Amino acid sequence: MDRIRVVGGRPLNGTIRISGAKNAALPLMIASVLTEEALTLENLPRLADVSSLVRILGNHGVDYSINGKRAGEEAISGQTVHLQAGHIVDTTAPYELVSTMRASFWVVAPLLARMGQARVSLPGGCAIGTRPVDLLLMALERLGATVEIDAGYVVAKAPRGLRGAEIDFPKVTVGGTHTALMAAVLAEGKTVIHNAAREPEVADLAACLVKMGARIKGAGTTTIEVEGVARLGGARHAVLPDRIEAGTYAMAVAMTGGDVLLEGAQPDQLQGALDALAQAGARVTPTNEGIRIARNGAGISPVDITTQPFPGFPTDLQAQFMALMTKAKGTSRITETIFENRFMHVSELARLGAHIRLEGDAAIVEGVKTLTGAPVMATDLRASVSLVIAALAAEGETTVNRVYHLDRGFENLERKLSMCGAVVERLSGSH
């Protein structure tokens, strides 16, 4: 199993190109099931989750081809993938496949909308809380589907097609909004989604569906209106840049000091996190190329944050911000409102010398002068990268074990950091 070795104490200077967003890429790939024509996605990140989803879609009969890199080409720019679901050969998504990645559960919506039926395993996947699928299923039922749970599978049927309806989510759900959108575009009549998620990835999916012929208004706001159409066509769409990756590297620069241009990053997708970084003492400068983050030798100020749905502070940057706060001059409070047990990185950060105590849904972080390298263990995707950030600022050497979590969400992490002066290397094997 691979490990990552980090020798801390080097500031980061240079340019990091931001990859396509994993959280946008996955629903966009799933949307290919809605049409028999080809959907071409550009700027798709090279990630384990993307490869897994290609296999899952292939199981349903989706043909795919990937424009690989040619000899001598850098693998830093995203890949282009052509997906074509000419014939759906199977409307079952088996446990072995769905259990590897939660987002693949969303295939239930396009399968149901196009084929009138779907049988999809309940997801396994991430260790962060239960992340219930009940809101996704509620949305499908509102659109006229019958939904039953049978031996660990969701069996959804709409033999006469889906019908437009009012869908009122009791709480903001990105997965629920994605699902409702993909089901509603082929439903007969008008659907109104209330309390919809406003995340940029939702708006990106809607933009792609509109290119395919869907009629959608209001994506990116709390109310989305969909006028159903009989069929969708093919399209070409570039995946938006990954705001979580951009925020992660921004926090790494704030942690280590230095000056880095995050090329392609979009400030409006990340304002909640950028505001917190500025309060902590980093210089944040939006430019035509992206966002520049700099911190000279000055200390890090403590900042209290609470995770919120977009446009608030993203839960997916909570662990990274906590790593930054371990070296702040004073005490900060980090409150997690989105996912339960999303503080699994706390005990590992403590191994590096961090002072953190938990109080219910909050972590109280008392800044320390120095962190010291140690062997640590990654527990989930965002936690693992928070350990890398802390290691970059720790004295001595840190080994992060179980980095397969990182490969699910960060493309070329070691390479991007090394190019800015960090001492980071991947060690393969299990010694």
The strand pair at 331-335 and 305-306 is best described as: parallel
d(CA 1, CA 402): 7
The two tokens of residue 343 are 């503080």
Report the 10 Å Cβ neighbour count for 409. 25
Judge whether 316 is annotated as a binding position. Answer: yes
- Is 126 designated active site? yes
Asked if residue 23 belongs to a known ligand binding site, the reply is yes
Judge whether 49 is annotated as a binding position.
Answer: no
135 is in an annotated binding site: yes
Judge whether 243 is annotated as a binding position.
Answer: no
Please check if 132 is assigned to a binding site: yes
Q: Is 401 exposed, middle or buried (0-12, 13-18, 19+ CB in 10 A)?
A: middle
Using CB atoms within 10 Å of the CB of residue 124, give its burial: 0 to 12 exposed, 13 to 18 middle, 19+ buried.
middle
Residues 185, 289: Cα–Cα separation, whole Å: 35
Using alpha carbons, list the distances in angstroms from residue 66 to 51, 70, 197, 242, 367.
Answer: 11, 12, 31, 20, 46
Q: Measured between alpha carbons, how far is 192 from 139 in angstroms, rounded to an integer?
A: 11
126, 238, 350, 368: which is the annotated catalytic residue? 126
Q: Which amino acid is at 54?
A: V
Can you tell me the distance from the alpha carbon of 210 to that of 236, in angstroms, rounded to the nearest whole number?
11
Q: Which residues are annotated as a binding site for UDP-N-acetyl-alpha-D-glucosamine?
A: 102, 131-135, 316, 338
Q: Which residues are annotated as a binding site?
A: 22-23, 102, 131-135, 316, 338
**Residue positions annotated with a catalytic role:** 126
